[in-house]
Amino acid sequence: MNTTFIRDGIYWIGVHDYTTWLFEGMWPIDQEGVNYNSYLINDDKVILIDTVKEYMAEEYIENIKSIIGDKKVDYLVVNHMEPDHSSCILAVTNEWPDVKIIGNKKTFPMIRNFYEYNKNFIEIENGQKLDLGGRELQFFLTPMVHWPESMVTFDVQSGTLFSMDIFGSYKATVGSIFDDENEVETFLEPTYRYYATIVGKVTEMAKKSLEALTPLVPSISMICPSHGLVWRTDPNYILNLYIKLANAEVDEGVVIAYATMYGNTRESAEIIADELRKCGVKKILMYDVSRTNMSYILASIWRYQGIFLGAPSYYGQILPSMENLLYKLEGNKLRNHVCGFFTDFSWSGGANRVFDKFIQNTGAYCPGEMVNVQGYPNKDDEEKLREMARAVAQKLIK
């Protein structure tokens, strides 16, 4: 059994996933795991807030029964239809066939398509309140954060915001789900990585949703997201962090992400790092994009202001491992960054043209000239790389 009483009749009935290797088939969670947080309000009526991933269905249903005994589940609020939270809907309806499902007009077509289930739906509008046996819940639509049907639920009695993916993070909670019983700093990098990979592309919508929720903030005493910690003591910590993330506010520091085939592009990256040190930059993170899952690079890029991207040409194009990163970065956009680009080629270019197009598409701010090295960087190349590094360093926040 794995449930935790929170307060005001609210229970955490989530599960820890240490089995999945790649979240969404892309983002590694094998080292730290992830939580699928589901919640239960045990009052005059029994209300579930979201479910968990299907392969834990049996444990999930047993956990619910361990709290409510012979009572039945009356309502299931579906804040979000991504299967990490919705794929136990049928497990719930099979066990308690009269359960009423609360969602919005974009939720129900998805339930029909995903699960061929089509009854007992209660459709809510943005801002609507429902009295569920004396427990008043209010619903706010947060479209595209992270899917079109996404919404959050506010429990008026306890001041709890069930925030779905918003305010979530990677990393399973070990031992306790509560912010005050964890070192919250250990969730900082997993929160950046989660935001950059899951929310990054829709950050403008996240910003709008956070702005729309602003009038609710004074009433929020606790934030219960679908991933990561339950913020019962310091909800402002995660609220302020998400506002920072949604506004793409960057910290002091530089990320150098390079692809290399025989080490020449890496040598250019080392020269840039050396010059940055001479300019007084202390926080420098260097990644080989072929060796590091891009989620870690995206997280660092979301966080730090300076970005250098370097890659060799490859059959008139760019090495594919860098192309993947560029694809995702074009979605995430480079907003408050200062950038530099460098390439390597043996007999003809290609990477430089790909970078030029990327700069054009994203509007990346580049105070220095791109450096294109043929083979191993010679003295002239080295001076150009150092010049570019100095140009970026001069624009960095201190």
**What phi-psi label fits residue 228: left (phi over 0), alpha (psi between -120 and 50 degrees) or beta?**
left
Q: Which stretch binds ligand FEO (CB under 6 A): 79-87, 97-105, 169-177, 281-289?
A: 79-87
* 3-state secondary structure at position 278: helix
Interface residue with ligand FEO among 10, 78, 85, 308 (CB under 6 A) is 85
- Point out the residue whose Cβ comes nearest to ligand FEO: 82
Give the nearest distance from C-beta 50 to ligand FEO in angstroms: 9
Measured from the CB atom, the residue of 23 and 345 that comes closer to ligand FEO is 23
The pairing of strands 151-155 and 135-141 is antiparallel
Closest among 305, 290, 303 to 190, alpha carbons compared: 303
Rounded Cα distance between 40 and 6, Å, is 10
Site for ligand FEO in 216-255 (CB under 6 A): 226-227
Pattern 107-146, ligand FEO, x by CB under 6 A? ---------------------------------------x
Interface residue with ligand FEO among 149, 165, 267, 275 (CB under 6 A) is 165
DSSP 135-172: EEEEEEE-TTSSSTT-EEEEETTTTEEEEETTT--SS-
Measured from the CB atom, the residue of 84 and 275 that comes closer to ligand FEO is 84
Site for ligand FEO in 142-161 (CB under 6 A): 146
Interface residue with ligand FEO among 17, 74, 82, 344 (CB under 6 A) is 82
Rounded Cα distance between 248 and 261, Å, is 32
Measured from the CB atom, the residue of 29 and 46 that comes closer to ligand FEO is 29
CA-CA distances (angstroms) from residue 339 to 26, 255, 383, 392, 395? 26, 10, 18, 7, 10
Rounded Cα distance between 111 and 167, Å, is 24
| 53 touches ligand FEO (CB under 6 A) | no
Rounded Cα distance between 267 and 256, Å, is 12
Give the nearest distance from C-beta 258 to ligand FEO in angstroms: 31
Measured from the CB atom, the residue of 146 and 303 that comes closer to ligand FEO is 146
End-to-end CA distance of the chain: 50
Pattern 91-110, ligand FEO, x by CB under 6 A? --------------------
Give the nearest distance from C-beta 157 to ligand FEO in angstroms: 26
Find the helix or strand (DSSP H, E) in which 341 lies.
strand 338-345
Rounded Cα distance between 42 and 54, Å, is 23
| 171 touches ligand FEO (CB under 6 A) | no
* 3-state secondary structure at position 271: helix
Give the nearest distance from C-beta 229 to ligand FEO in angstroms: 15
| 80 touches ligand FEO (CB under 6 A) | yes
Give the nearest distance from C-beta 298 to ligand FEO in angstroms: 16
Give the nearest distance from C-beta 198 to ligand FEO in angstroms: 6
Cβ–Cβ < 8 Å for 231, 241: no
Size of interface with ligand FEO, in residues (CB under 6 A): 8
Give the nearest distance from C-beta 132 to ligand FEO in angstroms: 24
Measured from the CB atom, the residue of 109 and 263 that comes closer to ligand FEO is 109
Interface residue with ligand FEO among 84, 149, 267, 344 (CB under 6 A) is 84
Cβ–Cβ < 8 Å for 63, 1: yes
Measured from the CB atom, the residue of 24 and 369 that comes closer to ligand FEO is 24
Rounded Cα distance between 394 and 343, Å, is 22
Closest among 88, 17, 74 to 40, alpha carbons compared: 74
Name the amino acid, one letter, at 287: Y
Rule CB under 6 A: which residues touch ligand FEO?
80, 82, 84-85, 146, 165, 226-227
